[in-house]
Amino acid sequence: MPRPNPRLVMKFGGTSVRDLARIRNAAEKVRAEVERGYDVAVVVSAMAGETNKLVGWVREASAGPEGGAAFYDAREYDAVVAAGEQVTSGLMALTLQQIGVPARSWQGWQAPLRTNAAHGAARIEAIDTDALDRKFEEGLHAVIAGFQGIGPDGRIATLGRGGSDTSAVAFAAALGAERCDIYTDVDGVYTTDPRMEPRARRLDRISYEEMLELASLGAKVLQTRSVELAMRYRVRLRVLSSFEEGPGTLVCDEDEIGEDSMESRVVSGVAFQRDEAKVTLLGVEDRPGVAAAIFGPLAEAGVNVDMIVQNISEDGRTDMTFSTSEDDLPKALKALETARETIGMREIVSDRDVAKVSVVGIGMRSHAGVAQKMFAALAREGVNIKVITTSEIKVSVLIDRKYLELAVRALHDAFGLHAA
Ligand code: ADP
Ligand code: ASP
Ligand code: MG
């Protein structure tokens, strides 16, 4: 039996497949890897802007002629939005064939990539690679529609926005690929979003832990769940540009980062989330069970609560503040109004003009004073901090949204992250 070829997953994001010329450019990169001896599974996103357009149609169709916010059926949302990736997978397979690379497209249900029942934000449960394995043996490379799979109800299920990254890592793990290359419109993972701070620096390597924090704190270069999966299955993940040559960034184990850079890097990056909202319940009765009375109804309403602070109490009453996304704010306020009697409070106040900024770094485990340095840098710029949370490798603060750019840049500078 001849030895099977090593495998590689190559994922192309929306801007990398925006039109036929870009698809051809991506296909050439695939051909280069095929010529190096790899069996390649290409994972594609929808053309840039396409998913937003499809989501817009779903909203409009669900709202009816009167417009306004509408409930929409998540199964039909999935049926519509998965169409973007169906188109690019077929076009990529055709383009590869045209340049002499034998390829076949696969939709999520065909592979199959099986998910749970959470339409719109489904989690991957299993990937059966038997059919793909057989096609590789026949010399046929695979083009897989990212972002989609098949739910237990036999219907298409999508993995949440940015989910093609997660498809790519999941296929890399299931196929035993040597590496998972994420091709995008930046040439790697930067110390912060280069659109926000032009002096941001590309990192050669970043640990899974730090990347996971950066992604979950707002750095959309990789979907959070893709990093979770890469960490769990030890998938070597590389982020690189579709348009420029370069080494990109390797997301890898902490001990592969190297002593020197670890020592000098207390903070590796600054992440931010622009569209946050803050809610304060004033004059809440300070008694056992009150937190449960507040956060129970919020959880039932599907509100994602992020930061929480409770003030010290005075005369048996206290204030409770939490943050959530601006999108979830109407749901949160409705749930709290409904539970008002059981909670027992004076007033609800909300603020939708806030943003969250975080500094992340594994060096924080061994270096004290990061939070202090962060607060001092923000104070110098006159930025008031509304809520603070910390974990082992990050410090996050909630601030007025209008100071977001200023805060990101000030922190990037204070922690010495600027490019030389
Ligand atoms: P794709 O369509 O290829 O999946 P995305 O738009 O989802 O691309 O992600 C790439 C974008 O992520 C970049 O254009 C950049 O603006 C943004 N980004 C945010 N934080 C970072 C970061 N720390 N490093 C690099 N890019 C980042
Ligand atoms: N096309 C999907 C989105 O825009 C998935 C992806 O690109 O990763 O969210
Ligand atoms: Mg993306």
Residues whose CB falls within 8 Å of the CB of residue 172, separated by 6 or more in sequence, listed in order? 9, 41, 179, 180, 230, 233, 235, 237
Separation CA 110–CA 132 (nearest Å):
10
The structure tokens 């998540």 sit at 74
How much is the pLDDT for 259? 56
Determine which residue's CA is closest to atom 27 belonging to ligand 1. Answer: 193
Residue range(s) defining the domain that contains residue 169: 7-185
- Cβ 128 vs Cβ 114: under 8 Å: yes
Separation CA 5–CA 17 (nearest Å):
27
Q: Is the CB of 14 under 6 A from ligand 2?
A: yes
Residue 36 lies in a domain: yes
pLDDT in tens, 220-258: 999 999 999 999 999 999 999 999 999 999 999 998 887
Assign residue 64 the CATH number of its domain: 3.40.1160.10
From the alpha carbon of 191, which atom of ligand 1 is closest? Answer: 23
Give the binding-site residues of ligand 1, using a 6 Å CB cut-off: 13-16, 45, 162, 184-186, 189-190, 192-193, 195, 214, 219-221, 269
How many domains would you assign to the chain? 1
The structure tokens 């006159």 sit at 382
- Cα-to-centroid distance, 40 and ligand 3 (Å): 20
Residue 305 lies in a domain: no
- Cβ 242 vs Cβ 188: under 8 Å: no
Give the tokens for residue 91.
């076009």
Separation CA 212–CA 231 (nearest Å):
9
- Cα-to-centroid distance, 353 and ligand 2 (Å): 27
Task: Tell me the backbone φ, ψ of residue 38, rounded to 5 degrees.
Answer: -90, 145
Residue 143 lies in a domain: yes
- Cβ 241 vs Cβ 183: under 8 Å: yes
Low-confidence ranges of the chain (pLDDT < 70): 1, 66-70, 259-264
Q: Residue 159: nearest ligand to its CA?
A: 2
Determine which residue's CA is closest to atom 7 belonging to ligand 1. Answer: 221
Residue 243 lies in a domain: no
Residue 379 lies in a domain: no
CA 10 to chain centre: 18
- The 10 Å CB-count burial string (b at 16+, else e) for 223-260 is bbbbbbbbbeeebbbbbbbbeeeeebbbbbeeeebeee
Determine which residue's CA is closest to atom 8 belonging to ligand 2. Answer: 162
Residue 106 lies in a domain: yes
Separation CA 231–CA 134 (nearest Å):
28
How much is the pLDDT for 374? 97
Residue 115 lies in a domain: yes
Beta bridge partners of 284: 318
How much is the pLDDT for 65? 76
pTM: 0.94
Residue 394 lies in a domain: no
pLDDT in tens, 162-220: 999 999 999 999 999 999 999 999 999 999 999 999 999 999 999 999 999 999 999 99
How much is the pLDDT for 262? 45
C-beta neighbour count of 154 within 10 angstroms: 8
How much is the pLDDT for 70? 61
